[in-house]
Amino acid sequence: MDWRVLSIVTVINTAYLYLTSSSTSFQTYLTIPFTALGNLFLIYLLYKDYELRGLTLWLALMILSIPTSFTNIFGGNYGSLPLSWYNIFFLVSFISWFLSSRRLSKNRTTVAVLLFLWLCAAVLRSYSPSNALRDFINFVPLIFFYSISTGEISSKEIDTLKNTYVIAGLSLIFPLLIQIASFFLVGKSLGKVAIYPNRIAFGTIFTDFSFLSLFFTSAAALIFEERLFLSVLLLLSSLLTSARTGFISFLLALVFIRSIILVKKQRIVRMIALCMFVIGFYYLGVKFLTPFRQEDLLDPTGRLASIEESVDLILDNLIMGVGLGTEDFKKSFGFSIPHNLIIQLILQTGLVGLLLFLYILIDMEVKMWRSINRLSKFFLTFNTIMIGSLFIPDIVNSRFLPVVIFMSLQGCETRHRT
């Protein structure tokens, strides 16, 4: 773990927490130069010490910029100007790939191109084209990274990308603690804070509490077998947001993955011990979360209602869907967008869009299943996110799914080639 990189990213994210909470022009004047300077330091460290070049260098910067990607480069509303450092680093990643490799996976590229074209049509037929375009922008990295996962990068580079993902997660712990302390001790709200009847939710510079919770636990999953202390620290941080999605998804994914491995090895006693560990960890998590969330941890809180309300709309638009766009969905249709990846996809992109997206997910699962003993950390991370996507909306807009897909597939392909 490079503490220099972690320190720089933590400083950037903490500064963003303060700057984006300001309603004056102060944030505009400082956000770009401050973040640009921080990114220059990161480029120097990644280039010099980790010897990252080309695509992997810019992808590492993309990963480290996930926390700040929910605001634009000026520190303002991303919806009004959908241009963040994450977008910039993605664009440079694409240019770098185009100028150097341009290798594609034939089958994946076919599916990716079809999905790309279908999503273009979904933007045009959307109830809010401008809003749909912003969502479409977040699909593009996923489609691109899925297409270029051909195993060209080394195992060392994959490990470096994995470590940068963990660093990005750890870098949000201090800003989260600052946000909570500011709210309870000073009475000042910094960043994303929401007060509900049964809980107070903290999102730091993320715009969605569940996204932040899932980001913490997906990072925890990557190092769960290697650095248990840091993994538990990330899991506890996910609970501090008061969102339960990440924590529950991690536990379910852990039971799923480890049970498969233990059954294959006929380690029944260890499987029983695992189940006892998960039950105990869940109990401790509930106790930890109680001061922040006074309600049943398994309460669906209206999620089932939005799914039920979407049935008629799905049946009326079964093939084509109603189009992309999440911000204006409730205003247009009278109910919240379904908190479930499958239901949301068939609702917005129709049966065709759902099948194309499911092909990508199934391809991922099959590839990692074959490499489960060697790549269980990526399998655990990917399934943590996938389980979480069944309880929250718009997982593609989380920003971290595309890079997890790339790291996971590259890991599979690299191991296969070696």
For position 403, what pLDDT does the model report?
92
pLDDT for residue 416? 47
Residue predicted with more confidence, 204 or 2: 204
Q: Are 165 and 222 in contact (CB under 8 A)?
A: yes
Cα distance from N-terminal residue to C-terminal residue, the chain: 26
Q: For 176-189, write each residue's pLDDT tens digit.
A: 999 999 998 988 88
- pLDDT, tens digit, 9 for 90 and up, residues 223-238: 987 888 999 999 999 9
Model-level pTM?
Answer: 0.89
What is the rounded distance in angstroms from the CA atom of residue 334 to the CA atom of residue 6? 43
Backbone phi and psi for residue 77, each to the nearest 5 degrees, phi listed first: -65, 125
Q: What is the mean pLDDT of residues 251-277?
A: 67
* Residues ≥6 apart with Cβ < 8 Å to 360: 108, 111, 112, 115, 142, 146, 405
Q: Is the confidence at residue 145, as pLDDT, over 60?
A: yes
One-letter-per-residue 3-state SS of the chain: CCHHHHHHHHHHHHHHHHHCCCCCCHHHHHHHHHHHHHHHHHHHHHHHCCCCCHHHHHHHHHHHCCHHHHECCCCCECCCCCCCHHHHHHHHHHHHHHHHCCCCCHHHHHHHHHHHHHHHHHHHCCCCHHHHHHHHHHHHHHHHHHHCCCCCCCHHHHHHHHHHHHHHHHCCHHHHHHHHHHHHHHCCCCCEEEECCCEEEEEECCCCHHHHHHHHHHHHHHCCCCCHHHHHHHHHHHHHCCCCHHHHHHHHHHHHHHHHHHHHCCCHHHHHHHHHHHHHHHHHHHHHHCCCECCCCCCCCCHHHHHHHHHHHHHHCCCCCCCCCCCCHHHHHCCCCCCCHHHHHHHHHHHHHHHHHHHHHHHHHHHHHHCCCCCHHHHHHHHHHHHHCCCCCCHHHHCHHHHHHHHHHHHHHHHHHC
Cα–Cα distance, 309 to 18 (Å, whole number): 39
Task: Answer with the residue of higher pLDDT: 297 or 163.
Answer: 163
How does pLDDT run across 11-63, given as a tens digit for each residue? 999 988 888 877 666 666 778 888 889 999 999 999 888 888 888 999 999 99
Phi-psi region of 204 (alpha: psi -120 to 50; beta: other; left: phi over 0): left
pLDDT digits (tens, 9 = 90+) for 93-134: 999 888 886 677 778 889 999 999 999 998 888 888 878 888
Weakest-pLDDT range from 1-5, 124-128, 135-139, 371-375: 371-375
- C-alpha–C-alpha distance, residues 73 and 89, integer Å: 12
Whole-number pLDDT of residue 418 = 46
- Given this model, what pLDDT does residue 295 score? 55
Q: How confident is the model at residue 264 (pLDDT cuts 50, 70, 90)?
A: low
The answer to whether 311 and 338 have CB atoms below 8 angstroms apart is no
Contacting residues for 392 by C-beta, under 8 A, at least 6 apart:
208, 210, 211, 214, 245, 339
Please report the pLDDT score of residue 368 as a whole number: 82
List the single range of 83-92, 239-248, 275-284, 375-384 with lowest mean pLDDT.
275-284
| Selection from 30, 66, 335 nearest residue 208 by Cα | 66
In this structure, the number of other CB atoms found within 10 A of the CB of residue 352 comes to 18
Confidence of residue 262 (pLDDT cuts 50, 70, 90): low
Which among 206, 224, 205 has a CA at the least distance from the CA of 162?
A: 224
Over the stretch 302-353, which tens digit does the pLDDT of each residue have? 567 777 778 888 888 888 888 888 877 877 787 778 888 999 999 999 999 9
| Radius of gyration for the chain, computed over Cα atoms and rounded to the nearest angstrom | 21
Of the candidates 329, 295, 296, 360, the one whose C-alpha atom is nearest the C-alpha of residue 145 is 360
Query: According to the model, what pLDDT value does residue 288 have?
Result: 60
What's the residue count for the chain? 418
Question: Among 77-91, 296-310, 386-400, which is the least confidently predicted range?
Answer: 296-310
Residue with tokens 């490079």: 2
Q: Return the structure tokens found at 88.
A: 């910039």
Q: What's the token pair of residue 161? A: 């990308």
Tokens of 170: 């750890």
